[in-house]
Amino acid sequence: MTDDFTTDPATAEGLGESAANFTWLLERFAAESAGVLDAIAVSSDGMLIAVSRRDGHADSERLGAVISGMLSLAAGASANYGLGDLSRVIMDYLGGRLLVSALGSGAVLGVVASKDAKLADVAYEMTLFTERAGAVISPELIVELQKRVTSAPAG
């Protein structure tokens, strides 16, 4: 991934510049990070705000629901044990991994990675994405992104 925060005009689709940049960064993160199969951004209330794959909207909705449940469980554990704010949740399956990382301003990044993916590399790329995208995420941007995702055709 590169450090520039510019957008591909083909991705903009009527979005504001920040929303287009956010979506573009997510798509690039998923496409260029070795072992990443899918990536989504979800608001703290469990609503999908951005997807890396435009052809898998139904899959993204299901992943968003899973991530929302994970966030609820993580918040419960944190409250019970005084663990503080969420940094990252990692679920390791026989066939791959599901990682969730806080983005800030009430949003999280959810990533599906292959079993062969190097966890340290995926976590590093997630950190880079979080630093870039987290710097621009705001409640207003989340609302704009939600509108775009909910109007996308089901895939």
Tell me the pLDDT tens digit for each residue of 107-126.
999 999 999 999 999 999 99
> Scanning the structure block, which residue is given the tokens 């987290």?
134
Tell me the C-alpha to C-alpha distance, in Å, between residue 72 and each of 50, 65, 68, 89. 20, 11, 6, 12
Domain 9-150 -> CATH class: alpha beta
pLDDT bucket at 12, cuts 50 / 70 / 90: very low
Measured distance CA(41)–CA(100) in Å, rounded: 9
Q: Is the pLDDT of residue 151 over 80?
A: no
Residues 6 or more apart in contact with residue 154 via CB below 8 angstroms: 57, 58
Strands of 107-114's sheet in order across: 48-51, 36-43, 107-114, 96-102, 88-93
Residues 54-65, mean pLDDT to the nearest whole number: 86
CB 41 within 8 A of CB 30: no
Tell me the pLDDT tens digit for each residue of 23-54.
999 999 999 999 999 999 999 888 999 999 87
Measured distance CA(121)–CA(126) in Å, rounded: 9
